[in-house]
Amino acid sequence: MRVGAVLRDPAAATLIGCVLLLGVGEALAPGFAGFGQVVGQFGVAAILAIVAAGQGIVILAGREGIDLSVGSTMSLAALVAGNIMGGENAGLLPALVAALVVGGAVGLFNGLGATVLRIPPLVMTLGTAGVVTGLLVVLTQGRPSGAAAPALGAFVSRPMLLGLPGVLIAWALLAMLVETGLRRTRFGLNLYAVGSNDHAARLAGVRVATTRVLAYAACGALAGLAGFFLLGYTGAVFVGAGEQYILPSVIAVVLGGTSLAGGRGSYLGSAAGAVFLTILTAFLTTLSIAPAERQIIFGAILIGFMLVYSRE
Amino acid sequence: MPEAAQERARPGAWVRDSPWLLAAVLLVAFAILNAAIQANFFTPFSLALNVTTVLPLMLIAVGQTYVVLGGSIDLSLGAIVSLVNVVAVEIITALGTGPGAIGAGLVAGLATGLACGMLNGLIVSLFRLPPIVTTFATGVIFGGLALIVLPQAGGSLPPAYYLVYAQGFLGLTLPIWLVVLLIGGVWLVGGTRFNRHLLAVGSNRQAAFQTGLPVRRIVFASHAAAGLLAAMAALCILGVAGAGDPLMGQAFTLGSVSAVVLGGTALAGGWGGPAGSILGACILVLINNIIFFANIDFVYQSVVQSAIILAALAAGVFASRRRR
């Protein structure tokens, strides 16, 4: 690929943006791009990237696909997992399964509403988010609840292999799985077909509605998984734990070059988008810029980036 | 569209042609339910209070409707409300407490809202970025600016501001007059060429462009109008709150989208209208009321409220699809 072509590819450009940020950060605050720092950043990015994987699948499926309930789904899955574990390592596996099932169930609900009742996904998933958040208030009575197993805390923060924490290795495996799933499996190919032209897909024999419902269910399950790992960082669950991941997950997907119109994009792009957002946040924090100014710069960079790469 | 014209000519077709009809039915149902559990619901005092509560959401929802009709969406309206809120408070406080200061604050607030809306419109229409992400990003910027103007809730308005707002004239509070004005304005806009062009752009952008409509200018205008209406909402909120709050607007972004959808407007653009959104805003406030007066345990309030809203949205979408 020529240089120009690389620069026009959003996923590659996002990765170059990451490297640039690390370089400038290192120059301004020595140690910013050190190994330990970068590994820490990637660990934080992994959770966002896992949510973004689901978000990307739903957006790929088209028909204005979007899931704004991923935040509350994460919280709910973490709540259930945290209460199953209760701070004991023995509950780790059942808790993981429960998080995936809870997330998948919320996603299934979204998918049925969006395809069978044909409620616009933006509204449907927003409504679901409200209901799930309300449910969290009922279940927790507004107090932090549940406790992560010690092994889960170690898995997300302590080095496990080659100096990398387990969550990074799990994310790397997941990324390969999602990317090959999208490119090589029947479900993945159906997803692209449905997203780019669902009439044509239907004529070609693809089960359009089923594919879309499955996309939402997969998104929910991935949000559940992200909530499970988030629990490793936070230790306990509070009602708004996952909230901060909702819109960044959409933005990571868009930064990575996935079209909001559906049918076009890759997971590697979304993953790069998640890493970029995480490093950008760390970069602005390191420069000790006040939160309000940080917010403004963050928004401006987003718009600048989209001006270059996301014109429809 | 000769087909649509024929359908409109057929008796009874107006039912199919009124996106707001289901919202009206829901509104009546919720009003009856509300009156059943709140004894003084139909007293002038209670009604005036409800009008004051619903007015800001109504204004923002009408602005959101014009944006959505044109095929776009604005997720920064809540942040615009916050920014206008603190700008107006800071300017009035800085200039003293006279009528001149209040006038300057109102003008500055409206100008701020209009400028934010125009910025959104410019980016969305000229550069054709996806509006969901663009307006989210501008919303982040407006929210940051609001926090710089006024880092914490505070500042205080001269009593004249909220006294005039509450007293109004000719025996009716100012919010009631403003609702009347809003409905009149919406009705007037409904008959203009702009409204027809907006619907054309929203239902088929390509066709509208090929017909020679100034697509970019129309989308730009809808965003600018939404910014101005959000500014009016912020100034109304000040009439009740009496002090500034940089986080005031947050809940309004999604509230306005819910009101629009409840009102039967299609999020895809090109179908619906602000009349439905006005009813939708009323429905959302009535749901709040009902939850409050039904003596539901505080812990269960939010889940019950969300479930009712989701069910109402589902019903609205389902009905409007069958009629279309």
Tens-digit pLDDT string for chain A (312 aa)? 456 666 677 788 888 888 888 888 888 888 888 888 888 888 889 999 999 999 999 999 988 899 999 999 999 999 999 999 888 888 889 999 999 999 999 999 999 999 988 888 888 898 899 899 889 988 888 778 888 888 888 888 877 777 788 899 999 999 999 999 999 999 999 999 998 888 888 888 888 899 999 999 999 999 999 999 999 888 888 878 888 898 889 889 988 888 888 888 889 999 999 999 999 888 888 888 888 888 888 888 888 877 876 654
d(CA B209, CA B229): 27
Q: Which residue of chain A comes nearest to B259, CA vs CA?
A: A123
* Ranges B25-34, B64-73, B153-162: which has the least confidence: B153-162
Confidence bin at B16 (pLDDT 50/70/90): low
Which of A75, A110, A131, A255 should we substitute to test contact with B (largest number of B Cβ atoms within 10 Å)?
A131
Using 50, 70 and 90 to split pLDDT, how confident is the model at B17? low
Q: Does residue B79 carry a pLDDT above 50?
A: yes
Using an 8 Å CB-CB cutoff, list chain A residues near B258: 123, 126
pLDDT for B111:
96
Average pLDDT over residues B28-33: 86
Q: Distance of alpha carbon A297 from its chain centroid, rounded? A: 22
Q: Within 10 A of A186 (CB to CB), how many other CB atoms are there?
A: 9
Min distance A114 CA to chain B CA atoms (Å): 10
Nearest CA in chain B to A301: B137
- Smallest CA–CA separation between B82 and chain A, in Å? 13
Please say whether the beta carbons of A26 and A286 come within 8 A. no
**Residue carrying structure tokens 């590994």:** A39
Distance, CA of A81 to CA of A79 (rounded, Å): 5
**pLDDT at residue A7, as a whole number:** 65
Q: Do A131 and B133 touch (CB under 8 A)?
A: no
CA atoms within 13 A on the CB side of A17: 28
Residues forming a β-bridge with A308: none
Residue B172 β-bridge partners: B169
The pLDDT confidence band at residue B191, using thresholds 50, 70 and 90, is confident
Contacts of B256 in chain A (CB under 8 A): none
Query: What letters, b where the CB count within 10 A reaches 16 and e where it falls short, cover B298-323?
Result: eeebbbbbbebbbebbbbbbebbeee
Interface A:B, Cβ pairs < 8 A: 136
Confidence at residue B324, expressed as pLDDT on a 0 to 100 scale: 47
The amino acid at residue A129 is: A
Q: Among A103-112, A277-286, B6-15, B238-247, which stretch is predicted with the lowest mean pLDDT? A: B6-15
Would the CB atoms of B309 and A137 count as touching at under 8 Å?
A: no
> What whole-number distance in Å separates Cα of residue A110 and Cα of residue B50?
33
pLDDT for B320? 64
**In this predicted structure, what is the pLDDT of residue B15?**
55
Q: Give CA–CA dist A61/A263, Å, rounded.
A: 6
Residue B119, pLDDT score: 95
Q: Is the confidence at residue B14, as pLDDT, over 60? A: no
Which chain B residues touch A117 with a CB distance below 8 Å?
314, 317-318
pLDDT classification of B2: cutoffs 50, 70, 90: very low
The SS3 assignment for A102 reads helix
Comparing alpha-carbon positions, the chain A residue that sits nearest to B307 is A131
Query: CA-to-CA distance for B71 and B59, rounded, in angstroms?
Result: 19
Look up the ipTM and state it: 0.78
The answer to whether B140 contacts A119, with C-beta atoms less than 8 Å apart, is no
From A10, A6, A19, A14, select the one nearest A260 (Cα to Cα).
A10
CA distance A250 to chain B (A): 8
Instruction: Check residue A229 and give its pLDDT.
Output: 93
The string of pLDDT tens digits covering residues B98-146 is 888 888 889 999 999 999 999 999 999 888 888 888 898 899 899 999 9
- Give CA–CA dist B222/B265, Å, rounded: 15
Cβ count within 10 A of residue A117:
14
Q: Which amino acid is at B149?
A: V
Average pLDDT, chain B: 84
Please give the model's pTM, rounded to 2 decimal places: 0.85
Q: How many CA atoms lie within 13 A of B87 on its CB side?
A: 28
